[in-house]
Amino acid sequence: MNPSLPINGPVMALTASSSPPCATSNNDNSPSVTSSNIIMGVEYKKGVKYLVDNSKDMKMLPPEFVLPLPESERPSLVIHGCIPLIDLSGLNGTVEQRLSTIHAISSASAEWGFFRVTNHGIKISIMDEMLKVIEEFFGLPVEEKMRYASENVMDPVRYGTSLNTSRKHALHWRDFLRHYGGPVPHSYHLWPDNPSSYRHVAKEYLKEVWQLAIKIFGAISEGLGLDPKYIERSLGEGTQIIAANCYPPCPEPNKTLGLAAHSDHGGLTILMDNGIGLQIKHNQTWFAVPHIPGTFVVNLGDYLEILSNGRYKSVEHRAVVSADKTRISVAVGQGPEMTAIVQPAGPLLKEKSESKYRPIVYKDYIRGQQSTIKRGKTALHEIMTSTDNKIDD
Ligand SMILES: O=C(O)CCC(=O)C(=O)O
Ligand SMILES: [Fe+2]
């Protein structure tokens, strides 16, 4: 990568299910997990689904999962509606339509760091197939999933639960499968081979998602006044990471989270799911993201916040859980190649001293961000303020 490089639509009515939260808190890191790996007689590292399936009649949330959330951060304290929705077909339309779509993407990126897209060009059939193989994966016997178990955050393929189980932290109600994708699928031979169609379907899906990301990166580049290929070029060979999440039904959903508040490390995360659960923080308020089949949710990650020198903000988001439904989400992050130096785009700075972020190698940033049990945007704030390039975890 070149070292100098590193959402508008119908606005729905606001309907508050309760008053909006106002305080930000990232304090979900109380060390409440005991050194034992056993919860209710079950090895919790095998996953929340395994725990639920093997603890008869779980009526209360095991204390290890109780997150010390202040009242204002409770999952049910959320606003519904008002999420930007962008019709991407405008990018292939007339000059006016293109400009108006680019404008919509720029303003959503600046105001929300988040938007939803329709007419994105990815067939519904491949989206459905991808969701199906992920559902099948999480439904496999635990021994099969544990073939991919790893606590090393940099391993190319990982099955696991909560955040980072090598560190003590209050547990999160979530199992995950993560692995690298394309654009060059180096680790393809390590991807799950069960279900048997997994590799084929995931490869196809990840290729399509990468192309969609490149289209949106182009619009974002133009919106920033950069060459349309600027961000694409900054990615070099690029890194794509899929994080598929499974959130089983939870006995006391208001006391825990599937995934605590965080921002993603890459440029753009493109996400689909099979139900509601994603929440995003906007103006210090948590908004519930509705589930609209056939559309994608697009999150701006830290890489774009840094590249834009803070003009666009990576969105803080979290996943809440439900009392009666299993939710699956498939989040795919697109970022630069691992050795890329992440820093603001040269053409956006008149003087070097205008840079608000210290340069950092992308791999080091991911390692720090994934290892930390501090949540929110702590990793990003640390590279804004620290005098060295190390993220303190
Ligand atoms: O499940 C969700 O909606 C959020 C997933 C997510 O934020 C992630 O995997 O980074
Ligand atoms: Fe995320």
CA of 262 to the centre of ligand 2 (A): 6
Q: Does pLDDT of 164 surpass 80?
A: no
Q: Does pLDDT of 108 surpass 70?
A: yes
Q: What is the pLDDT of residue 11?
A: 24
Q: Which ligand is nearest to the CA of 377?
A: 2
Q: Which ligand is nearest to the CA of 319?
A: 1
Question: To test ligand 1's pocket by mutation, which of 135, 172, 274, 317 has the most ligand atoms within 8 angstroms of CB?
Answer: 317
Q: What is the pLDDT of residue 314?
A: 94
Task: With cut-offs at 50, 70 and 90, classify the pLDDT of residue 44.
Answer: confident
Lowest-pLDDT choice from 34-48, 198-212, 297-311: 34-48
Helix spans in the chain (H): 48-54, 95-111, 124-138, 142-146, 198-223, 230-234, 302-307, 362-371, 378-385
Show the ligand 1 pocket: residues with CB < 6 angstroms.
Answer: 243, 245, 259, 264, 271, 273, 277-278, 317, 319, 329, 331
Three-state secondary structure call for residue 50? helix
pLDDT average, residue stretch 304-320? 95
Q: Does pLDDT of 5 surpass 90?
A: no
Please say whether the beta carbons of 336 and 4 come within 8 A.
no
Separation between Cα atoms, residue 91 and residue 224, nearest integer Å:
16
CA of 289 to the centre of ligand 2 (A): 13
Q: What is the CA radius of gyration of the chain?
A: 20
CA of 92 to the centre of ligand 2 (A): 29
pLDDT average, residue stretch 290-302? 95
**Number of the ligand 1 atom closest to the C-alpha atom of 297:** 3
Q: Which ligand is nearest to the CA of 245?
A: 1
pTM for the full predicted model: 0.88
CA of 331 to the centre of ligand 1 (A): 6
Show Cβ contacts of residue 200 under 8 Å, excluding neighbours closer than 6 positions: none
pLDDT tens, residue by residue, 224-266: 999 999 999 999 999 999 999 999 999 999 999 999 999 999 9
Q: What is the pLDDT of residue 43?
A: 80
How far is C-alpha 58 from the chain's CA centre?
Answer: 29
Answer with the residue of higher pLDDT: 91 or 165: 91
Answer with the residue of higher pLDDT: 244 or 3: 244
Q: What is the mean pLDDT of the chain?
A: 85
Ion ligand 2: residues, Cβ under 5 Å: 264
Q: What is this model's ipTM?
A: 0.99
pLDDT tens, residue by residue, 267-287: 999 999 999 999 999 998 899
Q: Does pLDDT of 329 surpass 90?
A: yes
Q: What is the pLDDT of residue 378?
A: 76
CA of 350 to the centre of ligand 1 (A): 36
Q: What is the pLDDT of residue 162?
A: 86
Separation between Cα atoms, residue 301 and residue 240, nearest integer Å:
13
CA of 289 to the centre of ligand 1 (A): 12
Please tell me the residue having the least CA distance from ligand 1 atom 3.
278
